[in-house]
Amino acid sequence: MYKIAITGYSGFVGRNLSTYLKKDCECLLLNRNELEQPGFSNVKFIIHLAGKAHDLKKVSDPQEYYQVNYELTKKLYDAFLASDAKKFIFVSSVKAATDSVDGVLTEDATADPKTDYGKSKLMAEQYIQSQPLPGGKSYYILRPCMIHGPGNKGNLNLLYKFVKKGIPYPLAGFDNKRSFLSVENLCFIIKELVERDDIASGVYQVADDEPLSTNEVVSVLSASINKKPKLWKISPGLIRAVAKLGDAFHLPLTTERLNKLTESYMVSNQKIKEAMGKDLPLTSRKGLEITAASFADN
């Protein structure tokens, strides 16, 4: 049985991943104090999940992103290089590549993040890639899109609460597609990287196979509680006019918020799938159905 060190184990992904892996390995769960002076004695693999998440309310000190997402990753990677550990898996973010996508995002796109969150993640990626890699060692930089699953408290949970209350979705007139990532698919990919030696070091985007429109998401969430989806197809032009009023009078719906709610963000997962030579265990819709069922149970 091999030994894996996991940072950020108390977070949503960490809890799911440690449960997923514990049947086949011993998980060393590192707390914040242990990360200050990391040591990886008898550890074969390191999975770095700890980080400062994107603050959508924009109240965080920008320097915190660089201290946690860059400096901490740098420290851990240096410790990995000095240790006998074989693989370092860094869970970054698609936001290290870009904040908005025109078409479908691939790993070949030139990284140009605009936020401190994205910039700090990219700096960590670039540091890992810039260091000489000793023989017998590998690194994997994973860029997941929006992750969801049982225990998730993010935007999908908020949307579910609106659906449950019977509040119609008023932006159904917008045609958008977004990539999502089931936490089970993410765990599956990480386990493949841990157990196999035929996947090359590098940057890999991680997403479910099929992007979904917000209207499709609302429909799946509604079906989970046996409700018919309430989709209001109000004219996008009218909605945009209301958002401009929001800009002027500081109302809840602003142009920036509207763009975030209705933009497309499609992510290709072809590189990681081709490297594995395997399909993901869950389809996009099935993964979302599992997440929706977990909301209904709570």
pLDDT digits (tens, 9 = 90+) for 91-118: 999 999 999 999 999 999 999 999 999 9
Q: Which two tokens stand for residue 204?
A: 């890999």
CB under 8 Å, gap of 24 or more: what pairs does 32-37 form? 35/7, 35/72, 35/75, 35/76
- How far, in Å, CA of 86 to CA of 88, rounded? 7
Which residues of the chain have a pLDDT value below 70? 54-60
Q: Which residues contact 100 (CB under 8 A, 6 or more apart)?
A: 263, 265
Residue 257 has a pLDDT of: 87
Q: What pTM was estimated for this model as a whole?
A: 0.94
Name the CATH superfamily housing domain 2-153+179-208+266-282: NAD(P)-binding Rossmann-like Domain (3.40.50.720)
pLDDT digits (tens, 9 = 90+) for 3-53: 999 999 999 999 999 999 988 889 999 877 788 778 888 999 999 999 988
Report the 3 state secondary structure along 124-155. HHHHHHHCCCCCCCEEEEEEECEEECCCCCCH
Residue 32 has a pLDDT of: 75
Give the H/E segment covering residue 7: strand 2-7
- Provide the terminal-to-terminal Cα distance of the chain, rounded to the nearest Å: 35
Residue 31 has a pLDDT of: 79
SS3 call for 121: helix
Residue 192 has a pLDDT of: 97
Residue 56 has a pLDDT of: 56
